[in-house]
Structure 1
Amino acid sequence: MSTKISAQKREAGTPHSTLTNLRGKGDVPGVVYGYQTETISVSVSETDLIKTLRESGRNGVINLEVEGKTLNVVLSDFQRDALKGSFKHVDFLAVNMAEELEVSVAVHTTGEAAGEKEGGVVNQPNREVTIKVKPSDIPDSLDIDVSELAIGDHISVGDIRGTVSYEILDEDDFLLVSVTAPTVEAEPEETDEEAEPEVIGSKEESEESEEA
């Protein structure tokens, strides 16, 4: 699904103070580059950007209008403020809708692993995969059902490659999810100082034993 957003062209090499003023007004500075376009410095409304991403998803195609021209773009990269979470900068990649491109998509797990019910731990060592797909077919995420995984089981790219309609560029042994046994902490061994002293007998009993 494509959504529309308007962008305002700005001068390249904008001073830091100007970028700060842009963000203060609720706009996000960015650039557009890629298919049949020169690199253009732009700014977009952060409110419109957030709304568009909610409608189209992180990898959805956006109809970006710049000075009366509409470009098919995807959000290539972005920066957020570490404290506020607001957008600081965005990169839009113009794409050819008829050609495949390489993009990264998030890996999400669904269901509760059988091994997790037995105390196992679900691990996701890699949370993204790189795929090759036409822009209109980019999925929001790669969803993996883990409900059948027991302790010791795992899923790699090779296990799901034939279940999706696009090409996954990662190797077959690229590990996506595994279920491992819970870590059991060993009980600390009792030291000599902590050991209970052996009671041999009273002083009087020892003396009587010697006299005998």
Structure 2
Amino acid sequence: MEQLKLIAETRHATGTGASRRLRAQDKIPAVMYGHRSDPVSITLDRLRFRAALNAAGPNAIITLELDGHDHLTIVKDMQRDSIANRVTHVDFLLISLDETLEVDVPIRLVGDAALAGREGAVVQQQLMSLHVESPAGVIPPALDVNVESLSLENPIRVSDLALPDGMESLLDGDTLVAIAQRTRAAVAAEQLDAAGQPVSADEAGAADED
């Protein structure tokens, strides 16, 4: 799992007005809690926080340096401005590397789906992230799923995924991750009308709907 370090500062002023002033300075109000400790109000640099998440993903372990002490955390929750889509508040959860967590890990399809292509099909991703239980130290930024073996008769299911040691999926093994789906052009090429002429893609689509 990717680990990053950010400098945090203790936040003494709270409330809407104080938070608005912090955001105007490109800082994010946040709170750090967990391990039976009292919540601590903090602030951090917005641009550095955004760069950290962009580099390592939403499940990265982030070491927050606060008043000379390091604290291992992950992002538990983020609030965003609905218009600008900027992060406006972050909840950091204190963790240890061997602690078991429940998180959603993004799924990334990789490889060349040559088998599906030869069948006149394209890849359709059905599951965007996997809900897992895992030690914090082994959670990857994303799960890479190879689609080289994907075909019409061979979809990829959760049970087919190779997970890191110690990680367990909390979804049913039959849940579809990716399927091969015929294109309209491929269907149209195989469907002939009564005169033996190829059916148009639009007609093929209409036939599929019926």
SS in structure 2 of the partner of residue 6 of structure 1: strand
SS in structure 2 of the partner of residue 186 of structure 1: helix
In the TM superposition, what is the alpha-carbon distance from 1:69 to its structure 2 partner?
A: 2.9
In the TM superposition, what is the alpha-carbon distance from 1:11 to its structure 2 partner?
A: 4.5
Tell whether 2:158 aligns with 1:157: yes
- Matched letter for residue 40 of structure 1: V
Q: What's the counterpart of residue 123 of structure 2?
A: 122
- The count of aligned residue pairs is 187
Q: What's the counterpart of residue 192 of structure 1?
A: none
Q: What's the counterpart of residue 61 of structure 2?
A: 61
Instruction: Give the Cα separation in 2 of the matches to 1:18 and 1:66.
Output: 20
Q: What's the counterpart of residue 148 of structure 1?
A: 149
SS in structure 1 of the partner of residue 161 of structure 2: helix
Indicate if the aligned counterparts of 1:124 and 1:176 stay in contact, CA closer than 8 A.
yes
Return 5+ residue gaps in structure 2 as ranges.
185-200
Tell whether 2:137 aligns with 1:136: yes
Q: What's the counterpart of residue 46 of structure 2?
A: 46
Q: What's the counterpart of residue 187 of structure 2?
A: none
Return 5+ residue gaps in structure 1 as ranges.
190-212
Cα-Cα RMSD? 2.5
After superposition, the Cα gap between the structure-2 partners of 1:116 and 1:34, relative to the gap in structure 1 and judged at 3 Å, is: farther
Q: What's the counterpart of residue 71 of structure 2?
A: 71
TM-score by length of 1: 0.77
After superposition, the Cα gap between the structure-2 partners of 1:152 and 1:83, relative to the gap in structure 1 and judged at 3 Å, is: farther
- Matched letter for residue 106 of structure 1: P
Tell whether 2:24 aligns with 1:24: yes
Instruction: Give the Cα separation in 2 of the matches to 1:146 and 1:187.
Output: 27
Instruction: Give the Cα separation in 2 of the matches to 1:94 and 1:100.
Output: 12
Instruction: Give the Cα separation in 2 of the matches to 1:63 and 1:179.
Output: 41
- Identity of paired residues, percent? 28
Q: What's the counterpart of residue 202 of structure 2?
A: 185
SS in structure 1 of the partner of residue 179 of structure 2: strand
In the TM superposition, what is the alpha-carbon distance from 1:155 to its structure 2 partner?
A: 0.9
- Matched letter for residue 97 of structure 1: L
SS in structure 2 of the partner of residue 126 of structure 1: coil
- Matched letter for residue 96 of structure 2: N
In the TM superposition, what is the alpha-carbon distance from 1:24 to its structure 2 partner?
A: 1.0
